[in-house]
Amino acid sequence: MLLWVSLLVLAPVSGQFATEPKSVIFLHSPWTTVFQGENVTLTCKAFHLDASEKIKWYRWYLLEKTQSETSGNTHEVHESGDYRCQAQDSPLSNRVGLLFSPANLILQSPLDVFEKESVILRCRAKANTVLKTIKLYKNGKVLEDHTVEIPVGMLTDFHIHQASLKDNGKYHCTGVKEDNELVSSNSVKIEVQELFPRPVLRASSTQPTEGGAVTLTCETQLSPQRPDVQLQFHFFRDRRSLGSGWRSSPEFWIHTIWRENSGSYWCQAQSMNPSVQKQSQRLQIQVKIPVSHPVLTLRAPRAQAVVGDVMELHCEAWRGSPPILYRFYHEDVSLESCSSPSERGGSCNLLLTAEHSGNYFCEADNGQGFQRSNTVSLTVRVPVSQPVLTLSAPRAQAVVGDMMELHCEAWRGSPPILYRFYHEDISLESCSSPSGMGGSCNLLLTAEHSGNYFCEANNGQGAQRSNTVSLTVRVPVSQPVLTLRAPRAQAVVGDMVELHCEAQGGSPPILYQFYHKDVAVGNRSAPLGGGASFNLSLTTKHSGNYSCKADNGLGVQQSEMMLLSVIVPVSRPILTLRAPRAQAVVGDVVELHCEAQRGSPPILYQFYHKNVTLESSMSHSGQGVSLNLSLTANHSGTYSCEADNGLGPQCSEAVTLSITGLTGSRSGPVATSVTGGLLSMMGLAAIALLFYCWLPRKAGRKPTFDSSRNPSASDPQEPTYHNVPSWIELQPVYSNVNPNRGDVVYSDVRTVKVENKQAAASDPELLKNTDSCVIYSQVKGAYTAAPKPQLLAASTPHR
């Protein structure tokens, strides 16, 4: 029983049976045909792998319908039909047909009949039925004839000894009653089954490697209806028994197998009771010997292989189980056309070309692991071809400072090859190198490396020269120098100044750009190198810092800054005399103020009295300067001033100063003399004062006299004199315009030529006379004591 269960467990592992064993029905008693009114007990058994666990239920089926479910594995029945059972976690059993017969005579047979078993067929009469004779039929033919009287209720058994396939067929029995009535039984079909199928011998490997282990398994399966039968196994190689003979285990272990253990293996399986013996088919086991390390031999017609020779490659392993596959390799690339199975080594022929130079090896493989030969080098001598020179730079245009690689390579030729490099027919000795894969030379480029290059390749069978390759090494521009070229030492408004920018180094073309206060003012290109110029017609706006940039596509360089100062010549200065009263008197302090409205500082001012120099003063700010005089009688006369900033002096109009010797009350006589005129001119004075303020604003400039910047502006009673060109002067008219304060205020009215048309056009009245305008000046009388005569320092100008 245990052996049978173990075979069921092993069967799925070996691959013979893939499904789980079914449930099995056993009969007690063993007959499938009984009389009506009798009972048959069915027993359901399960043989699945988890049978060790307790089965909790059994289901019983009649004619495919569930009849009942029990916790035990037995079930008593009394109806005819096909019965099936199912144990928990097992598939349904096969059908078992039961017949509960009402006949007087029945033939009883067991549920299953197996080979070599003794089978009983029981012909049984019903109670109270007496038969004189009983006969057994097989397929309609009489087998046995019992002519003796059969007692009432007795049984008649027919025996089949050691059942076999020849016993298959339909059986029934007949009987003759005392009244000679013939009665016949039911038919029983007998099919003799195999107790177990012919075993199959399996091996863990049919081509094991020598020295390895092999497991033999004799696979078969007992019928589930005979769980009590035990099997034995016997293993053979050719005609020799393996091991000690019969054994209960279906496995046989060969722990170490050798080459001489190759052969035909088979097994036998035998049941003890009944004695059934079966033999498996033969299984060929070929013990493989791994190939040894092969040897590669190159066979050429001469000592030195040359292009065009036929080379034989021969590979042979001295030990190894055939067949052996030989493969040949050149530089790790398989020579497919040379692969061949052989027992005596493999060969491959090559018609040599230059590409056949290199390393060769072969492999031998018989399925037990390949072995590789040592590497054999082959050199096929080939003259060098014309080499190719390549110049490689890190950018499209070679630039000074780049690392240039010169690479020379002959695509054909036997190594070693000596490569030499030349620049303008001069050998670059440091770059010569022997190589079979081309030679290289690195140059740190300078401007001198421009020119023609070529290389030579030589392997001792004639030198070959490459084509010439030209190289142009571009030089980045250096920092340019900006030069300002003017017609004089000091640049003056109206001069033509040339700005010239030039980079001493750099490959053309070079683009030059000129900047004024970081604003581009123009550019010029120098296609052939050198510098470039840019001209300016100077105005006052052209003062400031200038620079230039040079760019040849390899980086921009900027010059140093250069300052250009545009000098403006001074305009004609205006001399103004400022006195404390309308009529200058001895002892008064008079301020002479000279100022040029236009001109670049520093400006040197000089004051003249009757063309005699009184004082010189330098203005570094561009403003005018002043000179104070404490008047004496000698100060009467004409005054003028001169302004000069180095570009030519300019002289003012002359101003006449009359000095009286009046002392005591100074305002009475003067006021008396002008009372009538002052009253008649008050209206005109008011208009004149308004026009005086309006005219500078329309002309876009300040008035000639600015009291806020005048040291004497704090005294509102000082009179002011303006020198106006004599050709536009008119006869002044004086009037007192401020009689209430006690001060004497006069206005000097003159007409001047209008320069500002816009100012004139804004006043309809002035449009009537476009050739003149009105200038107003006021002179205030003051009653201050006359200071001592003194001159202002030249370094302290006043306005």
CA of residue 258 relative to chain centroid, distance: 59
* Residue 47 vs residue 556, higher pLDDT: 556
pLDDT computed for residue 683 by the predictor: 46
Task: For residue range 526-548, list pLDDT tens digits in order.
Answer: 998 889 999 999 998 999 999 99
Q: Cα separation of 574 and 557, whole Å? A: 50
Report the alpha-carbon angle 733-737-743, nearest 5: 110
- C-alpha angle with apex 593: 587 to 594, nearest 5 degrees? 145
Q: How far apart (Å, rounded) are the C-alpha atoms in residues 753 and 502?
A: 51
Q: List beta partners, residue 285.
A: 263
Q: How far is CA 416 from CA 412, 457, 462, 768, in A?
A: 12, 10, 13, 110
Scanning 616-667, the segments in alpha helix (DSSP H) are none
- Residue 84 is given by DSSP the state E
Q: Does residue 758 have a pLDDT over 80?
A: no
Cα 271–Cα 276–Cα 281 angle in degrees, nearest 5? 100
Rounded CA-CA distance 288/370 in Å is: 13
- Residues near 124 by Cβ (< 8 Å), separated by ≥ 6? 35, 105, 106, 107, 108, 155, 156
In contact, 56 and 39? CB cutoff 8 Å: no
Cα separation, 101 vs 443, whole angstroms: 117
| Per-residue pLDDT tens over the stretch 660-694 | 875 444 444 333 333 333 333 444 444 444 444 33
> What type of residue sits at position 411?
W
pLDDT single digits (tens) 97-141: 999 999 999 999 999 999 999 999 999 998 888 888 899 999 999
Highest mean pLDDT among 33-37, 302-306, 427-431: 33-37
CB atoms within 10 A of CB 316: 20
Q: What span, in angstroms and rounded, lies between the C-alpha atoms of 795 and 616?
A: 10
Q: Is pLDDT of 760 > 60?
A: no
How high is the pLDDT of residue 15? 38
In 3D space, the residue among 452, 448, 454, 443 whose CA is nearest the CA of residue 402 turns out to be 443
Q: Is pLDDT of 719 > 80?
A: no
Question: Residue 280 pLDDT more than 90?
Answer: yes
Q: Report the alpha-carbon angle 248-249-251, nearest 5.
A: 150
Q: How crowded is residue 613: how many other Cβ atoms within 10 Å of its Cβ?
A: 10
Q: 203-236: per-residue pLDDT in tens? A: 999 989 888 999 999 999 988 888 888 999 999 9
Q: What is the pLDDT of residues 483-524, one digit of tens each?
A: 999 898 888 998 999 999 999 989 999 999 999 999 999 999
Helix (H) or strand (E) holding 590: strand 589-595
Report the predicted TM-score, pTM, of the whole model to 2 decimal places. 0.44
The predicted model gives 335-353 an average pLDDT of: 81
Q: Find where tokens 């390549």 sit.
A: 390
